[in-house]
Structure 1
Amino acid sequence: MTKIPQTTAKLSLTPADLEALPIGATYQAQDGQATATVKKTDTGYEITANCDSLLLLVTDLYIEVNRLNKEKTELKTHLNEQKITEVNRLSGWQWFQIWCGRILLSVSAIYIGIKFIKSKIKK
């Protein structure tokens, strides 16, 4: 909650000032959120005073909500921008060695199998 400093709207009028005021006209003083008004009517004078401190609180809360929404949007954007990095990815040379080893192992197995079958056939 925001602490709102006290404001006082002062309206200093003499009886001559009040008498010189036409009907329907007003004198008004404002200081911060405080407003004082004197209005001359057919039957006399109407004096009102207002303080808009609640409006200031609503405005501060509205600003806070906007700030939090902005932070939420920035957080979502930051989370979406994170990249997935592969730590143990094989290089091209390593893939070449693996496939050469597989091919060599397959060819060796076939060669040994053929030699074994030929030796069984000769007996």
Structure 2
Amino acid sequence: MKLQLLVLVLVFLMAFATARNHGGLSPMEDIMLEGGWNPIEDINDPEVIEIANYAVTEFNKQTGATLKFKKVIKGESQIVSGTNYRLIISTSNSALNVYDAFVYDCPWEHVRNLTTFIPVKHH
């Protein structure tokens, strides 16, 4: 009887853990699915640099500016139906050389949009 109860409890716990884990995601990915902003640990990651370069290039296209990307100072990402990036970007060729950029990226739908690109006055 005790063995049957133990097996039943274990089966229940395994089923609960699997259901809670959104189809096999790690616990960290499970937390990230909640939609909150998470700090980008490696701001020199090639994907982050690509997103930052895109933001500067797109801003230049939209405004006629001639900013040049220097580096990512810090960033956050948010998992949605794709990824939102908020990057603090250092540029050159401007009196205001630090910008706050928001980019939405959804690679599987081939969508990338610059949402916001505004100067940061006090960094």
- For the superposition of Structure 1 and Structure 2, which TM-score range results when normalised by the shorter chain? under 0.3
TM-score between the two structures when normalised by the length of structure 2:
0.23
Query: Which protein is richer in strand relative to its size?
Result: 2
Compare CA radii of gyration and give the structure with the larger one. 1
TM-score between the two structures when normalised by the length of structure 1:
0.23
Which of structures 1 and 2 has the larger relative contact order (alpha carbons within 8 angstroms, sep 6+)? 2
